[in-house]
Chain A
Amino acid sequence: MSAYTALTGAGYRAQVRDKTTVFFTFAFPLIFLVVFGLVFRGRDVEESGFSYLSYTAAGVLSWGVANAAVFGIGFTLMQWRADDILRMIRMSPAPLASVIGSRYVLALGVGLVQSVLFVGVAMLPGFDLVPDSRWPLLFPVLVLGITTFLLLGVVIGSIADTPESVAAIANFLMLPMAFLSGSFFPLDAMPEWLQKISLVLPLRYLNDAVSAALVGRGDLSDIGVGCAGLVAFAVVFGVLAARLFRWTKTS
């Protein structure tokens, strides 16, 4: 058994055996979908021709996937360092690529299940989401998004030394970002200066690309711009993560 297979297996078991976290990881976005579905039932965003639900479905999906990626790796990394599991891995000959690879695959798996579940529910009668013909582009977009937010999670997990501080930092970044990037409320309905601010937030690019791919709001160039923005943030977070990463509590 390779180090990669073993770590992926260990991570998978740890994940599915934590029923509470599993439930909330997948139920959280759905709860938002239901709430917004009820609140904005049958209403369209002015002058856009799109229903509120199609707006928020894309936004909530982006936010849910990004959130799970950030929190998942943030907590794991902090916990592994606090428990000296990182030290043990450091003292084994296992290649770093197998460690990173296993966490990456687990995060992609979570994102995939979240997306399938979310889109499936959103297509049910009552929500009536109709995926655009470009929906297969959702895969590369979400992979990029998960990569970017996973790296942000590594940054957070490297700074924070307690579960409380992981939650505090991650919430501090992710919650305001969700509102400012248009995940919960359509950006088009917000003042222009707020729309400008959103341009420096990575979630804005994921939102744009996801909504262009999922509900067809925007065209291929919007997906391209969204992906380019995500790559840029991934590079920034990647550099930060590499600089901040610590094998042990004391080094």
Chain B
Amino acid sequence: MSSTSPTAGTDSEPAVSVRDVTKSYGGRRAVDGVSLDVRRGEFFGLLGPNGAGKSTLVEIMEGLRQADSGEVAVFGESPWPRNTGLLPRMGVQTQSSAFFVRLTVHEHLRTVAALFGADRAAVDSTLEAVGLGDRHDVRVDSLSGGQRQRLAIASALVHGPELIFLDEPTAALDPAGRRDLWEVLRGLKARGRTIVYTTHHLDEAEALCDRVGILVSGRLVVTDEPQRLIGTFGSGSRLLVPLGRIDEERAAALPGVDSVSVQGGHLVLETRATGRVLAALDPLTGLDGVQTRTPSLEDVYLDITTRQTDAPLASNNQEQQA
């Protein structure tokens, strides 16, 4: 299997296809007219503030909830109502509490494997993959937070699903554990698996995802590759020049500089043409101590989500209805 970009993948139907899906609770629209394709072999990140409708949207894709309107297809089939033909092809990360009480790690995963009709050998290899290979005989009740999370992820992977839904899989992990899990996820992607996951770690989404979608108040605001989002929505780079090298007026007059401000011990030059500004700066001040800050996915995310929340679109005002 190739691990190249998803656009080079098959031309066949997408793994998940969501068409104009809406879901309301009471008068509130949790998901509001979302359309989305997740391609086969793609690593798709669903981002958004708490309460934006991520879980509801994912649960509709999983077939756990029925959309009020719109269409959902997973591998070309409807996941709702409970589609037992489709379920073995999907893996859903459970809550870190979803363990059979008083069982050991190995017994729990064996039980989960049996629910999916997976063989026993898969239990050992899955525990090994998530770093619980030496915890077979520990009771699930006495696992640490990070270990519980690993076991929850193992529960989603043990039957070798083609499409994997992960809900903040690295939330309870320490930095080393996070990096280990990244390798597990990259390995799954390299084997051609499709992954849909939600996270609040924007650096992680930037590092792992082929594409991300940002959900705000139930609406999918943008969907794109992280780097292209940064290119499109990023407010440009910032050059930090130590104070005293150049005064504000002259800096503002440099070609390519959009704005100038003083922050901390630096003069901050905002620009979309980093190269030109650096070239102009070099003969004037030299480049020693000059730092370059490029926008991250986090900057773009915060920019987009605050803008959307402050000025909600007209059709978002459904909440006012009785």
Number of cross-chain contacts by CB at 8 Å: 81
Chain A nearest CB, measured from B61 CB (Å): 12
CB of B88 within 8 Å of the partner chain: yes
CB of A132 within 8 Å of the partner chain: no
Instruction: Decide if B101 touches A84 in the complex (CB within 8 Å).
Output: no
CB of A10 within 8 Å of the partner chain: yes
Interface residues of A in 1-59 (CB under 8 A from B): 1-3, 5-7, 9-10, 13-14, 17-18
Chain B nearest CB, measured from A19 CB (Å): 10
Instruction: Decide if B120 touches A1 in the complex (CB within 8 Å).
Output: yes
Instruction: Decide if A91 touches B114 in the complex (CB within 8 Å).
Output: no
Of the residues B95, B98, B114, contact of A6 by C-beta under 8 Å = B114
CB of A198 within 8 Å of the partner chain: no
How many angstroms between the C-alpha atoms of A79 and B100 in the bound complex?
10
Chain A nearest CB, measured from B98 CB (Å): 4
Instruction: Decide if B110 touches A6 in the complex (CB within 8 Å).
Output: yes
With a cutoff of 8 Å between Cβ atoms, the chain A residues found around residue B117 in the complex are 3, 93
With a cutoff of 8 Å between Cβ atoms, the chain B residues found around residue A130 in the complex are none
Of the residues B82, B101, B103, B116, contact of A90 by C-beta under 8 Å = B82
CB of B115 within 8 Å of the partner chain: yes
Choose among A7, A9, A14, A92 the residue with the greatest number of B CB atoms under 10 Å from its CB: A92
Instruction: Decide if B98 touches A84 in the complex (CB within 8 Å).
Output: yes
Given contacts A87-B64, A91-B64, A91-B92, contact A14 B115 (CB under 8 A): no
Given contacts A10-B107, A84-B97, contact A92 B116 (CB under 8 A): yes
Which residue from chain A places its CB closest to the CB of B82 in the assembled complex?
A90
With a cutoff of 8 Å between Cβ atoms, the chain A residues found around residue B112 in the complex are 88, 92
Size of the chain B interface, CB-CB below 8 angstroms: 31
Chain B nearest CB, measured from A152 CB (Å): 23
Given contacts A87-B94, A91-B64, A93-B88, contact A13 B102 (CB under 8 A): yes
With a cutoff of 8 Å between Cβ atoms, the chain A residues found around residue B108 in the complex are 10
CB of B173 within 8 Å of the partner chain: no
Q: Mark B98-131, 1 if CB is under 8 A from A, else 0.
A: 1111110001101111111100100000000000
What would be 21 A-B contacts, judged by CB atoms less than 8 Å apart?
Answer: A5-B114, A7-B111, A9-B111, A10-B100, A10-B103, A10-B107, A13-B102, A13-B103, A17-B102, A79-B101, A82-B97, A83-B98, A84-B94, A85-B94, A87-B94, A87-B98, A88-B115, A88-B155, A90-B82, A94-B115, A247-B64
Interface residues of A (CB under 8 A from B): 1-3, 5-7, 9-10, 13-14, 17-18, 79, 82-85, 87-95, 247-248, 251
Interface residues of B (CB under 8 A from A): 62, 64-65, 82, 84-85, 87-88, 90, 92, 94-95, 97-103, 107-108, 110-117, 120, 155
